[in-house]
């Protein structure tokens, strides 16, 4: 497998040959930035951790050069940030025992360009090699343009695959907008209560982000606890850490299904749910 950018690279924590490492994949995440995987796809990491028949493949599409920075990282150049964020992502892949990690190193501008087909084809190559059963990516209501750029390119890439090679499930997960607003019967709830030490370590390893001015460590664990506690008003908590996702699988089962219409229908159903609850009390 040859990645597009000369600066792109694979990292295999246990030293397996790249092709062999990728082909053992069962769970895969395609994310925009370094640390997105650990925030949104912990369910997949957890399902593969210490599981000899399950392997997690993480793909980071952009180089992360535009991240916020402060403290000791305040004077880091974009090139400095690219290097440190790559190192942090490799540390996370080692801690989480990822079967494989691919750092594609694209600038965000290429990911956000709807006419860019090279990124789509590169993702297609990785998907065809890995053939994951489950894929995690960003949700379509995310407020970060680069995240939406990644998700739309992921869907385009999967739609180029043979139907029998496609993932069985594709989930759009929380990062730059949570999904507690999705109506309950449509909400995908991942119980990620297991290995809380691992969950914390995976986010805390991104020191350039946390010390650099963004407390993703506290925010991520707090959101998961809030999801678990506020998910059901009339029963005790069944979990103490939950990640919400929306099911994007219909978009890769029906290639003619419009992506924009798909997410707007979610929003319309939420609007109707709010309206019905108010009208019952009037």
Instruction: Supply the range of the domain harboring residue 175.
Output: 9-257
pTM of the model: 0.96
Token pair 């969950």 in the structure block, residue: 199
Task: Identify whether 264 is part of a domain.
Answer: no
Q: DSSP character for 73?
A: G
Task: Identify whether 266 is part of a domain.
Answer: no
Task: Identify whether 236 is part of a domain.
Answer: yes
- Residue 235, classed as helix, strand or coil, is coil
**Contact (Cβ atoms closer than 8 angstroms) between residue 74 and residue 100:** no
Retrieve residue 51's tokens: 């599981």
Task: Identify whether 91 is part of a domain.
Answer: yes
d(CA 14, CA 17): 9
**Contact (Cβ atoms closer than 8 angstroms) between residue 89 and residue 34:** yes
**Contact (Cβ atoms closer than 8 angstroms) between residue 124 and residue 160:** yes
pLDDT tens track of the chain, all 282 residues? 899 999 999 999 999 999 999 999 999 999 999 999 999 999 999 999 999 999 999 999 999 888 777 778 888 888 998 999 999 999 999 999 999 999 999 999 999 999 999 999 999 999 999 999 999 999 999 999 999 999 999 999 999 999 999 999 999 999 999 999 999 999 999 999 999 999 999 999 999 989 878 899 999 999 999 999 998 877 777 899 999 999 999 999 999 999 999 999 999 999 999 999 999 999
Task: Identify whether 279 is part of a domain.
Answer: no
Task: Identify whether 273 is part of a domain.
Answer: no
CATH at residue 166: 3.40.50.10320
Task: Identify whether 211 is part of a domain.
Answer: yes
Q: Structural domain tally of the chain?
A: 1
Task: Identify whether 280 is part of a domain.
Answer: no
Q: How many CB atoms lie within 10 A of CB 182?
A: 21
């Amino acid at each position: 497998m040859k990645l597009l950018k000369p600066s792109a690279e694979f990292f295999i924590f246990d030293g397996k040959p790249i092709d062999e490492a990728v082909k053992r994949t069962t769970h895969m995440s395609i994310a925009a930035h370094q640390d997105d995987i650990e925030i949104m796809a912990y369910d997949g990491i957890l399902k593969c951790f210490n599981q000899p028949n399950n392997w997690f493949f993480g793909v980071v599409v952009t180089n992360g050069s535009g991240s916020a920075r402060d403290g000791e990282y305040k004077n880091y150049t974009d090139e400095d940030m690219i290097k440190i964020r790559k190192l942090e992502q490799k540390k996370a892949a080692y801690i989480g025992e990822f079967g494989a990690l691919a750092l594609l190193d694209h600038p965000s501008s290429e990911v956000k360009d709807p006419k860019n087909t090279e990124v789509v084809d590169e993702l297609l190559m990785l998907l065809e090699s890995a053939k994951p059963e489950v894929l995690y990516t960003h949700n379509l209501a995310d407020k970060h343009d680069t995240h939406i750029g990644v998700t739309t390119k992921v869907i385009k890439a999967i739609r180029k695959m043979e139907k029998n090679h496609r993932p069985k499930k594709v989930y759009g997960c929380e990062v730059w907008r949570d999904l507690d607003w999705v109506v309950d019967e449509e909400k995908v709830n991942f119980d990620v209560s297991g290995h809380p030490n691992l969950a914390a370590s995976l986010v805390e390893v991104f020191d350039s982000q946390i010390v650099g001015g963004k407390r993703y460590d506290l925010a991520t664990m707090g959101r998961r606890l809030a999801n678990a506690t506020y998910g059901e008003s009339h029963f005790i908590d069944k979990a103490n850490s939950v990640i919400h996702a929306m099911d994007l699988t219909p978009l890769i089962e029906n290639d003619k299904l419009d992506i924009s219409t798909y997410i707007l229908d979610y929003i319309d159903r939420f609007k109707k749910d709010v309206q019905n609850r108010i009208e019952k009390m009037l």
